[in-house]
Chains A and B, each alone.
Chain A
């Protein structure tokens, strides 16, 4: 076959492949691009309480700067994010180490450890709402049985963020533990053998070998949890609806209320796009960190 004929055949094959994959590519791009483009367009629109729509330019974004609820929501979102991520990474690594070393732990016990993240968040929220009810819940009953003072949990402006962070951590720590466990199982045994020969204590082994080698895996878990935590919605909506007052009013809850309860879809879109930008920023920062700790 001449070179020209071969090139022609290759071109034809490329064309055929393109034609065959085009529907899937177009569908995927449309499914991702359309909602994003539509939301961007909505962000430039103004909606009155009666749904009357008009072009607003950058007014929705300008309003963010002077909107107390936006800045408060941003603070709540970040506080909840930092506290939850810290708890989930610390306890996730600890749980992974327990599961890794307790090789004789029965399968059913291992399954119980990791089962919370398989529960739908709405069910988890309802369950904790009942447990933490200050009057009827089991949590205060246990505290009082132990001679401790009861807490208002989700009804206290001071305690609502730590309480929601605890609920989310209860649910998602096992997920982090599973990821870290995968990382632990892939660590090279030779490094541990060398440490053992050198007489390193278990703590030193963990501090100098396990943790540094696990860092890329931990950062991966942090990225996955960051995306979820920054757009945290379901458990807060079920348990507090952003209250008491606005103590747990995250950007996501605020955006939902502005859009679906007050019908200002334009401003809600601007809020949500800002939140999306924050999520992207966090993911990019963690990606850089992952590059820095890779081995």
Chain B
């Protein structure tokens, strides 16, 4: 039998059988197994959940499961979650979580169900667990337990106004030092524009500050102690606060993503460090569509170490129907749904979705989307999920980072005083069990 005959008589039928089996296997997956059940989803009312929940009816039709959505703003969602979990209540089956922030804390508290087995044994064939960002899966794994499935990928990037930079004779900033030089030129060139804006609100600072710290070459901890008073730590504190104090908007100490996006979208800011997730908000109305450029977070002395995080979906350890809850999680993080969410501007945590022709067509439709995807590619390949201290009390550690930055913006302390005060509190926090 020659090669052509082998292909025609043996190989092709075998391949066809394998393909049909795979299809049948995907189709055979019993999505109706939990028909009639009700799954409660505690959601953070952000663009990620909004995009997901626009397909809620499809999930209910596919599975016969009723999805009850309990939606709040981020802080209120955590408040509700803490109450429910401390009471060991089964009121919530699935909840949204940020592994980079509360992952370790929730995992040690035993609030997450372990998804390791379900993601392998109870998943539809086309779920493609291996297709999810391995970095984000790793970020959601604590003590060997997979605690959440990634919903998106995001990180701080540079938004800049191409028209203003051109008018003021400024090149696109490639480094943190370039950002400061550009801000200085813009301030001199157009006094009506805020040259630069980033997060200044105390609990929100860590998100953008961490990226700058890592790019400059600093680290939060060394030898089990807080390291903000190291030369690189002090340089970052000084640079970050100086940028906001000298070139930021008045009242920047109250700025989080909402204020930054509003200022930038209104055309009153020239450059901004903000989440890649804010693209949809910033482009809302279309005024910034043609005059905005996007780039990865500018490099420091240590190059580019971008912050890459993602919202995850977790099943509550106290849910009485973890398998039904898992059905919702796997549907929500499946390639099909993540592709649909991507077309709404939610960056997919699946490289395959990012390469999907329909998605590529959407990306190619606008130059700013191409730059956005290029910045996301850098996040996906080089990203670190360390935002704040890598300790159980991570949320509290962010307060002290924010406090040190605010003390410097408001000129209430010197860099040495601010970092020493923060280190003292952070060392106490690190020492806590």
Contact = CB atoms under 8 A, between A and B. Distances in A.
A49 B432 contact: yes
B142 to A, nearest CB: 12
B412 A136 contact: no
A51 B251 contact: no
Interface stretch (B122-130, B259-267, B282-290): B259-267
A134 interface: yes
A287 interface: no
Interface of B: 75, 78-79, 82, 85-86, 105, 108-109, 194, 201-203, 249-254, 259, 262-263, 266, 268, 392-393, 395-396, 399, 403, 406-407, 410, 412, 432-433
Contacts of A263: 82, 105, 109
A134 B109 contact: no
A245 B254 contact: no
A262 B396 contact: yes
Contact of B253 (A48, A150, A243, A257): A243
Contacts of A150: 250
Contacts of B268: 135-136
Contacts of A152: 250-251
A243 B201 contact: yes
Nearest to B398: A261
B79 A241 contact: no
Nearest to B194: A135
14 contacts: A49-B392, A50-B392, A51-B86, A51-B109, A135-B249, A136-B262, A136-B266, A150-B250, A155-B253, A157-B410, A245-B202, A260-B79, A261-B78, A263-B109
Contact of A244 (B79, B86, B194, B253): B253
A265 interface: yes
A136 B263 contact: yes
Contacts of B253: 155, 243-245
A51 B107 CA distance: 11
Contact of A133 (B82, B108, B251): B251
A175 interface: no
A241 B251 contact: no
Contacts of B250: 134-135, 150, 152, 155
Contacts of B252: 155
Interface of A: 48-51, 133-136, 150, 152-157, 240-246, 257, 259-263, 265
A155 B79 contact: no
- Most B CB within 10 A of own CB, among A50, A51, A153: A50
Contacts of B403: 245-246
A48 B432 contact: yes
B406 A241 contact: no
Nearest to A237: B75
Contacts of B249: 134-135
Given A50-B108, A50-B109, A245-B202, 5 more contacts: A50-B105, A152-B251, A156-B251, A243-B201, A245-B253
Contacts of A134: 249-251
B251 A135 contact: yes
- Most B CB within 10 A of own CB, among A150, A154, A245, A257: A245
Contacts of A243: 201-202, 253-254, 406
Contact of B406 (A50, A244, A262): A244
Nearest to B406: A245
Contacts of B202: 241-245
Given A135-B268, A261-B395, A263-B82, A154 B254 contact: yes
A153 B407 contact: no
B86 A48 contact: no
Nearest to A262: B396
A129 B300 CA distance: 35
A262 B412 CA distance: 26
B197 to A, nearest CB: 9
A150 B251 CA distance: 11
A265 to B, nearest CB: 7
A263 B86 CA distance: 10
Contacts of B395: 261-262
A246 B410 CA distance: 12
B263 A244 contact: no
A259 B75 CA distance: 13
A130 to B, nearest CB: 9
Contact of B410 (A133, A244, A259): A244
Contacts of B399: 257
Nearest to A150: B250
- Most A CB within 10 A of own CB, among B78, B396, B407, B432: B396
A163 B79 CA distance: 27
A188 to B, nearest CB: 51
A269 B108 CA distance: 23
A196 to B, nearest CB: 53
B387 to A, nearest CB: 15
A262 B102 CA distance: 10
Contacts of A262: 393, 395-396
A156 B86 CA distance: 37
Nearest to B409: A244
B86 A240 contact: no
A260 B396 CA distance: 11
Contacts of A48: 432-433
A260 B109 contact: no
A157 to B, nearest CB: 6
A153 B251 contact: yes
A245 B412 contact: yes
Contacts of B433: 48-50
A242 B399 CA distance: 12
Nearest to B391: A49
A76 to B, nearest CB: 15
